[in-house]
Structures are given as C-alpha cells and as structure tokens.
Structure 1
Amino acid sequence: MEILELNEPERLAPLLERYIQSAHLNFLFGSGASMPAIELAGAVEQEIDQHLAASEHEEANKKALIFIEELEYQNGFLPTGYTEGDDTDTTLQNYLRFLNSIDRILFERKNILLPRQANVFTTNYDEFFEVAASHLPTLVLNDGFNRRIGNAGFEYAPELFFDRVYRSGAVYQHQSEVPTVNLIKVHGSISWKRQADEKIKLGQAEKVELTTVQKNNPQDVKDALSKRAVILPNMRKFESTLLDRVYFDLLRLYTNAMEMENALLFVFGFSFADEHILDITRRALRNPTAKVVIFAFNQSGAANFEAKFSAHRNVLIIKPKKGRHIGFRELNSLFDMIGMIPKANHD
C-alpha cells in the first residue's frame, strides 16, 4: 500500500494518467460526493441500525422513509429549480465537471485495445449523475434501462451495461467508439419503481411526502417504503426477493469489473462501511494487475482506509495535507489536469 499527499497535483496527475491509459476504468462513488446538497448517508444508516439493534423496527422504518423523502425533495430542485450558487447548484456543477473530464479522457484515449467506456458504481440514490449527463451531448450515459421503442416503462436490463456505442462516417463508414459511462447504482435509485410483475422500471421520484399523522402510522410507512426500489445497507428486511436478486446481480457486475485484467478503480466519497463492497474489493485486490486509488476526505479518513487495506500492495491512498480536505472540487481539479500537462513536465 502506498500513501501520497495531495500537495502537488501537477505531479500526481501524470501518474494517474499512466494508470488510466493502460486500464479498464472504474469509479466508486459514495454519499460524500453529493455534499453539500445531501447530508452524509452514513450517519443515517447508523441511526437506523441502532433502532434495529434495539428491535425498534417501526422507528427504523420511519427514519428510512424520512431520509428517502429528503432525497426526493432535493431531487425536485433538479434540473432547473435551484438558485445559482446554492448547495444543489454547487453539487450539480461538481458532477457536471467530473463527467466532462471523463468524457474528454475517454475520447482522447490512446490505447485502441481498451474501450472508451468507464463504469461508475455508486451507492447513492440521487440523480445528480443523470441530470449532469443530460448536459453533455457527446457523452452516452447507460443507466441499464431498456429504451427500445414500444418498451413502455423502460424496464431494467443490466445486460445493457455490456453494450458499446459506435458512430460511422457518412462516406467512408469509418467507425469511432463514442465515450460511454455505465452508471451502476448498486443500492437502487429514487427513480426506480417496483412493479407487481416483479420487475423494476424507470419512473419519477415521489413528489408527495406522508403527513405527520401518516408517518406515525406504521402501516402507512411500510406501504410507502414498499413503493421505492431502494436498498438500504444492512437492512435486509426491506428487501423483497426482487431487490435481493437485483442487488446481488449488480454486486456481481462490480466483482466482474474488478477481476478484469488491468482493472483500475478510483474511490471517492465512499468509506467502505458497506461490508459487501469492502469484501469484494479486498478479494479483487488478489488480482495483481488491479489497482485501487482512494481519495481520503481528511487525514482521519486516510487512517481508516490504511487500516482496511494495509495488507494490499496495489492500493494507493491520496490524502490531503494536514488541516485540509479533498472534496469534489479538489478531485475535479486533479482530473482536469489529466492529459492536459505537456509531456516535458511529466518527469
């Protein structure tokens, strides 16, 4: 394991570029990426777990619903309902800047043996990625929903993540691969809807919150949760057979991506508190060609990652200088430099 301090981005960027040019590109985003618009999910999950440990199942349900409704409320400000410079706008611009850099990096990729494709795995339920991608006409965002004509409701079809997109010239039929981002939401999304026929379809986030009276009625809360196709970590009782199957299918995609030769994973805003994802990542690191680069928010976070991955040599932890932090802005500044620094400055 290696630990580097983010004090000279112009020297770190060429190192990351060398990784990217020879690897299958993957990202893992957690709730830290959607700050400041959305509070960290980790604290909410801990509170829910405490209720479950005390057998306070109705309180756990209520806490979970309140959290999901807050995400749905924030989503109501997207894409045009926010004020320039507010928390929602700041967060959306972070995502937009990131996707713009990935679009450029994939388009300029020099290794023709590797796809112009990146996998973005996220445990977030919000739709910042989807809305940001809608502002980038050159980038294809594949969210796993089948949009064929006549396929009403857009049914979830994870096999679509294996598709690649090409465009050909009108005269010479020269084919060029279009940059594609596979958005794999391993815990579901506020726009996913469970159907009676045991299928998941794309829909609109719920706009109506339960009243205070309804939230004090355990059955109303339970019914409201059953409409949402989201998977809350460590809360297996919320999962139907359908969600259980989808969850493990998506974890399998993560496993397969990390077991590929020259797999590269960038981790941001994610603490690895999810034991399933932590275990899969550790097992994947037995692959000697795999590389995991983790961005720690602060030095305390770096120490946490160091404890989790101390046995693995193919992990790079990037931490901030003392008293600083690595937020989305710092991450974007680094990725903006990749491919943009003259070769003479790489040494």
Structure 2
Amino acid sequence: MNFDEIVEELQTLLTEKNINFLIGSGASVPFFPTLGNIEKILTEREYSESVRQLIYLHYFNEILSKNLDLIDEVIECEYNVTNNYRRFIRGLVNIMNYRNSRISAKRANIFTTNYDIFFERAIDFEQRNNSSIVLNDGGNGYFLRTLSSENYHKTVSRNGVFDNYQKELPTINLIKCHGSVNWNKSLIENQELIEIQNSFKLLRSVQEYAKKIELIDEDKDVIRQYLSDELSEEIELKIQEIAESNYFDLENFFNEYKKLMIINPEKSKFKNTVMDEYYYSMLRLLSYELEKDQTILIVFGFSFADEHIRNLIKRSIHNPNLRVYIFAYKNGQGKEFMNLLNCGNQKNIITLEPKENMPPIDFYQFNRILFEDVD
C-alpha cells in the first residue's frame, strides 16, 4: 500500500478498533529538546560520581525544570506545542464521539514515556470547552490523590435528567510509563505510594538546589561538548574541574533530584522500589492491550530506545489481530525502526514516512494526517 492508502485504512480503523497510542519525546519538541546522546553517555562512558551529578544538573536545567513554565497560563509555549497537543485531543475525542459504544468503547489509551505535563495541560484546556471529556490519569482521591493501575479500568456515563438515557463519555486513559514531574513518593499507613501533587512542590525544591550551582556560559559549553560524540582529553579534564569545584552543592542537588518519580536516562534508572513496581505494572497493561482482539497501536515521536517497551512490542506483533503503525519523522527512519524491532517480515506492522515534497512528520503534521479537519 502507498502512503495515502495506509492513512485511509488507519482513519477507518480508528473509528472501529481498540485504540492505543505510544507517544514519545518527539511530541514535545522543540519546547523540550531531545536527550541526544545523554543516555548512551550515562550508560557507557566512565566518569566520576560528581561528573554524573553535573550531567543530571544539566539535564534538569535544560529539560525538567521547564515544566514549571507550563503551569502559568500566561506563558505562551514556544512553537505552539500546547496547541498541537490540544489538536490531538480534539481529534481523538471527535473520533470517539462517532463510535457506537455497544460495538466499540469510547475509550483510548495513551501510553507515553514523557515526564512532562503537556497532555494534562491540553486536556484541561479542552475540558473547559467540552465537559464530556474524561481524563483518567490513574489517580484516585481528592486531597490525597494516589496512583494505581487498577484505576484505569473505568467507564464513565452521563444520564438524562430523568434517567431516560445513558450515554458513555469519551475517556482518555493517560498512562505515563516513565513517571511524571508532578508525582511524589508518600508513606501512607506504612505503605509506599505514588501521589499526584499538582503543586509541583518536589520539582520546585529540586530547582532551588539547582539554582545554588552557578555555572558560567563557558562551563555550560564544556558540558555540552562532553555530551557530544567529539570528546577530547581537554574537555574531560575541564568537566572534572567544574564538577569538583561544585562538589558539595552537586551532592545536595542530586540527593533531592533522586526523589523525583521518573525513570532516568541510564541503564540503572536509579533503583526505586515504588517506581519500579509502577513501571512494570504499566508494561503489563500495555502488553494486555496489545494482546486484545481488534487492536491498533499508533506510535509517534518514540525512538524505541527503551528496550523493555521495544521487546514487548516485538512479542506482541505475533498477535494476528494487532496492527501497529509507526510514524517516522523523516525518510530512512522507518527502516531503522523495523531493524530495531527485527520485524521486516511482519505484515501487521507498518511504517509511515513523509512522501516526496512533504515536510517531516512532526506533531502538527501527525495531527493533520490522522484527523484532517481537526482545526
């Protein structure tokens, strides 16, 4: 099939099948820059503990701390990233509204490896204009809002004033596999739980420790060069000097940073029992969804760097009732994805690359392809 035929098929399946999305960091670019080589460097390169802490300081300052800007509605997000998320939610809700709930549930699962709060922000905006949208982020409670995979198995309906009808509402299950910047570990009745705190108290606390480490522009350039492929002995010496001169403040920062409920970009991920349990429960949930009959998985902005998710999809594609559609940002990436998944002979996994004279498939283009008249 050519590109247009695949898109037509996909748009039809969206109205009928069990819908699952896997969204990666590409959706939040360029507001959040991509990780680049940081995971490879943290995993493979030899360095001192203080240099490791310095790398995480850079990672926090460049990426994680920017989530605090998203809380303030006055701040216009660069490059319309929020608008792209809102278009995505609108398009998805429009499709679910046309579904017959007796045949196909008005429910979509969004699995994401992003820590950011773009989805929450976008859905919050859309709910102001459409009270029928239900966001299920896995939380339960009011003053104490805790996270559990059990909370995803819910259906919400609206009844008529005299109970003369019942209408299923479109529900979006937001499943953040790698954690979130607004989660915190809490001890409740001797049980460790993940609490959703929209005050961002922990993120602000980490930011305060980060601000105590004042790096000049030259220091920041050294860190960027260290995180590039072109590493010299001079840069290695310089980054060690920067780390050693900030040894005490870096250690204090890192001790606070480790409290964040996120899966970090290195093999060890930081051992955190509560987060590990949640991570693997979300992988099981993704696995269950992909084993169901009449299921589609749409992948966008995801690099397949997470080997657990990659291997899970490799196992799931043997389900003959599953269709997987992977959107590639540019030409050539589709082949890379197929090689990573080792699935060149599988007929139920399809990659979509930009056509000739077509711009790269960023989040804006992705929405146009899937939903056409979403605006």
TM-score category, normalised to shorter length: 0.7 to 0.9
Residue identity opposite 2:91 in structure 1? S
Tell me, yes or no, if structure 1 residue 327 matches structure 2 residue 362.
yes
Q: 2-side partners of 1:318 and 1:32: how far apart?
A: 15
For structure 1, the residue ranges without an aligned partner over 5 or more in a row are: 341-347
- Paired residue type of 2:353: K
Q: CA deviation at 1:77?
A: 2.0
Q: What secondary structure does 2:147 align onto?
A: coil
TM-score (normalizing by structure 1)? 0.86
How much identity, in percent, do the aligned residues show?
A: 30
Q: Which amino acid aligns with 2:247?
A: N
Matches within 5 A, 1:29-44: 29-44=23-38
**Partner-residue secondary structure (3-state), 1:38:** coil
Of the candidates 155, 170, 173, which is equivalent to residue 179 of structure 1? 170
- The list of structure 1 runs, each at least 4 consecutive aligned residues, that deviate by more than 6 angstroms after superposition, is none
Pairing 1:45–2:39 present: yes
2:52 aligned residue: 60
More displaced 10-residue stretch of structure 1: 116-125 or 311-320: 311-320
* Root mean square deviation, CA, Å: 2.4
How far 1:273 sits from its partner (Å)? 1.2
Map 1:222-261 onto structure 2 (within 5 A): 222-236=254-268, 238-261=270-293
Q: Is the 8 A contact 2:42 2:265 kept in 1?
A: no
Q: Is the CA contact (8 Å cut-off) linking 2:53 and 2:251 kept in structure 1?
A: no
- 1:71 is matched with which residue? 63
In structure 2, the residue matched to 1:156 is 147
TM-score (norm 2): 0.80
Distance 1:280 1:228, change over 3 A: same
In 2, Cα distance between equivalents of 1:25 and 1:319: 21
Q: Structure with the greater relative contact order (CA < 8 A, sep ≥ 6): 1 or 2?
A: 1
- Is 1:101 aligned to 2:91, yes or no? yes
Note the 1:1-347 alignment, pairs <5 A.
Answer: 4-5=2-3, 8=4, 12-50=6-44, 53-54=45-46, 56-81=48-73, 83-84=75-76, 87=78, 90-110=80-100, 112-137=102-127, 138-147=132-141, 149=142, 152-196=143-187, 197-203=191-197, 204-205=199-200, 206-207=203-204, 208-209=207-208, 210=210, 211-212=212-213, 216-217=247-248, 218-236=250-268, 238-308=270-340, 309-322=343-356, 324-337=359-372
AA in 2 matched with 1:249:
S
- Structure-1 separation of matches of 2:294 and 2:246: 49
2:137 alignment partner AA: D
Closer/same/farther in 2, CA of residues 260 and 65 from structure 1, 3 Å limit: farther
Q: How much does 1:46 deviate?
A: 2.5
* Alpha-carbon distance between aligned partners in 2 of 1:145 and 1:111, rounded to the nearest angstrom: 24
Structure 2 alignment gaps of length 5 or more: 215-244
Whether the aligned pair in 2 keeps the contact of 1:26 and 1:119 (CA below 8 Å) is yes
Shift of 1:47: 3.0
8 Å contact from structure 2 (residues 147, 193) kept in 1: yes
Give the 3 Å change call, closer, same or farther, for CA 228–132 of structure 1 in structure 2: same
* Range with greater deviation from structure 2 (136-145 or 30-39): 136-145
Larger radius of gyration: 2
